[in-house]
Structure 1
Amino acid sequence: MSALTARTRMPGTDAFQTLATAGLLAAALLAAGDLNQSIALYKETLARLSRALGADDPDVLELRAELAGAYQSAGVTSRAYRELEAVCSRAVRSLGEQHPRTLPLRARLAGAYLAAERWDLAVETYVDTLTACRAVWGDASPDTLAVRSGLALAYEAVGRHEEAVAELEQAVDGFDTVLGAAHPATVRARSDLATRYWSAGMTEQAIEQYGTALSSGSERLGDTHPEIMAVRGRLGRVWLADGSAAAAVPILERCLSDRDAVSGHDHPDTLAVAETLVAAYDLQRAPDKAGPLHERLARTYVAARRYERAVEAFGEAARALEEQGHVTEAVTLLQDALNTLAPTPGMHSRELHPLRNQLDRLRHPGTGGGDGP
């Protein structure tokens, strides 16, 4: 039975369009950061599609690769690359090593090796895949350029910095010519190049490339496009690392506002921007801005069960209030923090000593608070 016939004969809840929609929903859940539900839906959809079409069907292999991507996003990197090894093995056997649907799967496997810190395997797989892509599609193909960008990241990981920069410069030039400066792939590659420049100590060049990526991409893609938000966050971190909190703060504030609107407070990307912004506020000695953000982070850490970080953030929020002369508010915040954290399973009393000591010092000025037993 042909693949097309198999798809048209799939009944009811196993109909091909139904399962395709389920795959899209799983991808949307992944993008929203709901990793557990995304993985569960991918697995359920994959099982049903495999039963109907067979394990070697290209659409089944693609869906299995997407499941591997969800594992990778969840930090289960070894599971991700093992899934992709199996996918690529089946694709090579059923489609051929240089089939147009096999090559992107091989590129994903290289990326999974990179995420799992299997550096040498990542480089080897990217090099082999790039050679095949150039033979099949040519140097100017966006797919070839994407593999070249991945190879650059792998080179960077193994310390081959000059080769990494050279590959990315070629990729940026290629994407710019083929897709235009505002295309997401071009923006991503230019941002990666800027990051490599920064790693090499070329701060001015890095800032220039980030700025170009923002100016060329934001008008077409919009400020809340994932690539634009990523570039803006990176640019803010570079300014902060360069000691220019004044330049970093407005960029990071804009980025955090966009992340909040798109992903919510508790998304990992939002959290990363908030952490960078609060560091910039602290560097500026701006307790009126740092305090509320420290408290927000503390409550986000509690929800994520990152209790050690929550203790630190509550303490910083209280210190910010104290610096502004709001001692009563600081005491109230510390009491609330202790009431929130003390009943938490797995939270040991000694881990709360910093907050208790801080509270005692505010209640009894001049005593120093002590370190506690």
Structure 2
Amino acid sequence: GRLAVPELPVVIAVEDLHVADAGLADLIATLVGGSASVLVVSTSWPGQTTSNAHVRRALDAVGERAVRFDHRSTEPPDPFPPSASLAELDDEALAALVRHHYPVVDDETLDAIVDRYRNPLALELFCGLPKIRRRSRAGALRLERSAIESTPVEVRGLYGEMWSELPEPVREALSLAALGIPALLDPTSAGEWNTELLLAALEQIDWPGLDEIADGLRHGGDAYSWARSVSDMLRTFNESVQRDVAADDDTFLFDDDRSEVRRAIGGVLGHFLRSNPTTLDDAERHHVADLAAVLHAEGLLADPDVLADAVQPSVELSIVEERDLARVIHLTGLVLDAEPAPERRVRALLLRGHAHLVAGRLADALSDADRADSDLDATSGTTALEVLNLRARALTALRRDTDAIETYGALVAGLERALGPDHPDTIAASAGYGLAVGRAGRVDEALVITREAVRLAERTLEPDDPYLLRLRNNLAVAFADAGDIAAALDEFVALEDDAVRTFGPEHPRTLNILRNGAWHRFVVGDQADAVQRLRALAADHDRVLGPAHPDSLRVHRLLGVALAHDDDGGTAQDGVTLLIDTHAREVDVLGWDHPDVQETRRTIADLASASGDHQLAITTLERHVADCDRIFGDGSLPAHTARVHLARALALADRPDDAVRALAVVVEPIAEASGECAEAALVARQLFGRVLAQSGDIEHALAELSRTAELASTRWGRTDDRTIDARDDVARALDQAGRLDDAVAVWERLEQDVAADRGADDQLARQLSALVDATRRRRHET
């Protein structure tokens, strides 16, 4: 049976959902927001879940996909059965909680406590209040009802009671700590404070009692269960409500004091960054960036260069990991709006441009490259090459092939002059040049370029060097583009373990290699294995990168295609549905003009054509052709490819004359761009010959089909499946023309070649032999 369906959902247990961080909340949103049936069973303190900004954002993101059912629900919503219940704890259960703290509690006291505290968190806090514990002896407890009712009933008030019991130096220290927490000014930001940074700021303004404050910041909160360590420098409150109580205490601070301390933090931030250029860990980098952003927004950090320096290490880390791209774009946008020095402005544009590129916002990436280029006067030559690299990558992704090749050529030449031909950056740029050449259709040339890049890298780099692994991935792609699928799959399979070992199993680059390997297993015909791998990878992509990441959308598209071609497994319609859903999400995330959006749309049209829905296919492909002309240019390879797909749909709809007109204008341009022997050129020429034959123009059809067979034999050999298909087309066209002797001769030569290569007992050889015999009988009869 199938998993993740309403009758058999995936069940996920989450403890203490009310303290979920951004990563956990995003994971839940990803799982719930997909198409699978997921049951999330969580524990949390009543009333605290939706006070968590991360959880609120996750619930907003999934919208109606989330059916919530909690202890306050009187009637279970669909699809829960009528007997389902998460009712509040009954009196006996609440009494058991009290007896856990006070085993010999007086019955009247117990009844009064249970009557007042129905929330188990509030009940636990009440039992832990120092003034209550002081009234207990040997587990016994007796309280007047009036004393119980004079104690706050809400969680916030109970924490306030606990707060008042803390030593004064600890309360002052934690009140000051709250001023260094970015989340108090922006709930989506970091929830920690940096002790060393805060102490430097307090020292700057000569805050009294600094030694006691330092001790309270470092140790006091732990002793009273109010704070804990996150890293060497970062600490946080155990509960957000504790943080709020500390932040709202006016005992030690006027509003002017709060502003002065925060302004002092902004004032010492630059020195702090210069003193710790490489020692901050990942969490500390992200915290400094969030802190600088909120201080800048409040007008408490005046120096835009300090803002830029605080943001840069954090966003560089996120770009390497290809995660939190929206945050990267937001933070670098703040830096640019602040107008730092030119070199920092260029750096911010480069970082934002790379984030735009990974996020699929290709036009924005190119715009950032153009803006950075205009600011290059005050920067070094190597920075100019970085800008050129961003521009080349954006142009390649946008399928502006001619511009991309020219830009990569300039980049490679510049890097050779600046760093030498054997430098990893130069080799990587050469591989990028190969990719751009391949995108333009020159796949054989691209394979030569990429092979040379890998050869140079293998000579200078260690086998597990990340640069080399990325180049080997490019080489596998180049093999596939050149039509050597077996070599491509061999390289991807060899790469899989290396990538997991070097990058980790969930790094975006590892996922990219695993995705390519799974897809090429499908291409070579191992559909069951491919579908299983793609299903698992789709879940991994959504969980690790998020469902809106371009790579997540790509793996869903590939899974949809694999499922749609499963004629025997009963998943074909599931595949089409997945493709349609993915296409809608791609349009929302990437925009209509993104190359991936156009590719998915074309794939859906091809499937409609193959299933017999010719009008839908033709209408969709006609608009696809017009869009490709507009987006990429009417002489571009994507536009030519779109016309080939339209022609195939027209032929299947028995409109060969229209198909001939569509192909007549692209067959030679594709051959000129790609080379006559390139697979794309051969596919277009073969289809042209077929539709000419379908239209009755046999002589022209024979010319095109014969040329296709000749070129295919040169490229792949006489018994490659693609060549066999082309030679068979020639024989069938001869048969259609009534030239049965010539048709028999072609089939006989084909049979002999296949038998010599695969054996006389090969199924295809036997089929060809039977075809020859049948054609001879028809010739004799006529």
Is the TM value for this pair above 0.5?
Answer: yes
Distance 1:140 1:212, change over 3 A: farther
Q: Give the deviation of 1:88 after TM superposition.
A: 2.2
Q: Which runs of 4+ in 1 moved over 6 A?
A: 314-317
Structure showing greater Rg: 2
Match of 1:100 in 2: 508
What is the aligned counterpart of 1:180 among 591, 597, 607? 591
What is the aligned counterpart of 2:465 among 49, 54, 57? 57
Match of 2:557 in 1: 149
The aligned runs of 1:89-168 (5 Å cut-off) are: 89-159=497-567, 160-168=571-579
Q: Give the deviation of 1:99 after TM superposition.
A: 1.4
SS in 2 for 1:14: coil
In the aligned structure 1, how far is the partner of 2:468 from the partner of 2:618? 42
In the aligned structure 2, how far is the partner of 1:62 from the partner of 1:104? 10
Please tell me whether residue 15 in structure 1 is matched to residue 428 in structure 2. Answer: no
Match of 2:97 in 1: none
Deviations for 1:107-159, whole angstroms, at most 9, x for unmatched residues? 11111211222212211221111111111222222211111111112112333
What is the aligned counterpart of 2:678 among 267, 270, 284? 267
Contact 1:181 1:213 in 2 (8 A): no
The aligned runs of 1:198-209 (5 Å cut-off) are: 198-209=609-620
Q: Give the deviation of 1:102 after TM superposition.
A: 1.8
For 1:262, give the aligned amino acid.
Answer: A
Q: Give the deviation of 1:82 after TM superposition.
A: 3.3
Q: CA RMSD in A?
A: 3.8
Match of 1:195 in 2: 606
Match of 1:252 in 2: 663
Deviations for 1:51-70, whole angstroms, at most 9, x for unmatched residues? 53422232211111122223
Distance 1:140 1:242, change over 3 A: same
In the aligned structure 2, how far is the partner of 1:158 from the partner of 1:299? 33
Match of 1:85 in 2: 493
Distance 1:117 1:187, change over 3 A: same
Match of 1:326 in 2: none
For 1:158, give the aligned amino acid.
Answer: D
Q: Percent identity?
A: 22
In the aligned structure 2, how far is the partner of 1:207 from the partner of 1:312? 25
In the aligned structure 2, how far is the partner of 1:120 from the partner of 1:85? 17
Please tell me whether residue 211 in structure 1 is matched to residue 622 in structure 2. Answer: yes
Distance 1:20 1:283, change over 3 A: same
Q: Give the deviation of 1:26 after TM superposition.
A: 4.0
Contact 1:26 1:42 in 2 (8 A): yes
In the aligned structure 2, how far is the partner of 1:164 from the partner of 1:92? 29
Match of 2:92 in 1: none
Q: Give the deviation of 1:33 after TM superposition.
A: 4.9
In the aligned structure 1, how far is the partner of 2:506 from the partner of 2:452? 30
Please tell me whether residue 42 in structure 1 is matched to residue 423 in structure 2. Answer: no
Q: Give the deviation of 1:188 after TM superposition.
A: 0.5
Contact 1:295 1:314 in 2 (8 A): no
Q: Give the deviation of 1:80 after TM superposition.
A: 2.7
SS in 1 for 2:508: coil
Match of 2:692 in 1: 281
In the aligned structure 2, how far is the partner of 1:34 from the partner of 1:184? 19
SS in 1 for 2:665: helix
For 2:432, give the aligned amino acid.
Answer: L
Contact 1:43 1:67 in 2 (8 A): yes
Deviations for 1:145-199, whole angstroms, at most 9, x for unmatched residues? 1111111121123332111101110121122222222221111000111112222
| Alignment length (residue pairs) | 323
Distance 1:51 1:213, change over 3 A: same
Distance 1:294 1:87, change over 3 A: closer
In the aligned structure 1, how far is the partner of 2:520 from the partner of 2:593? 27
Distance 1:81 1:34, change over 3 A: closer
In the aligned structure 2, how far is the partner of 1:145 from the partner of 1:272? 28
In the aligned structure 2, how far is the partner of 1:110 from the partner of 1:124? 9
More moved, 124-133 vs 79-88: 79-88
In the aligned structure 1, how far is the partner of 2:705 from the partner of 2:493? 43
Contact 1:149 1:189 in 2 (8 A): yes
In the aligned structure 2, how far is the partner of 1:291 from the partner of 1:104? 43
Contact 2:427 2:453 in 1 (8 A): yes
Deviations for 1:253-284, whole angstroms, at most 9, x for unmatched residues? 12224313422433221222122222222232
More moved, 40-49 vs 270-279: 40-49
Q: Structure 1: which 5+ residue stretches go unaligned?
A: 1-6, 324-333, 335-347, 349-369
In the aligned structure 2, how far is the partner of 1:218 from the partner of 1:138? 32
Q: Give the deviation of 1:297 after TM superposition.
A: 4.3
Contact 1:298 1:314 in 2 (8 A): no
Q: Structure 2: which 5+ residue stretches go unaligned?
A: 1-414, 743-755, 757-778
Contact 2:609 2:652 in 1 (8 A): no
Distance 1:41 1:220, change over 3 A: closer
The aligned runs of 1:202-351 (5 Å cut-off) are: 202-286=613-697, 289-290=700-701, 293=704, 296-297=707-708, 300=711, 304=715, 306=718
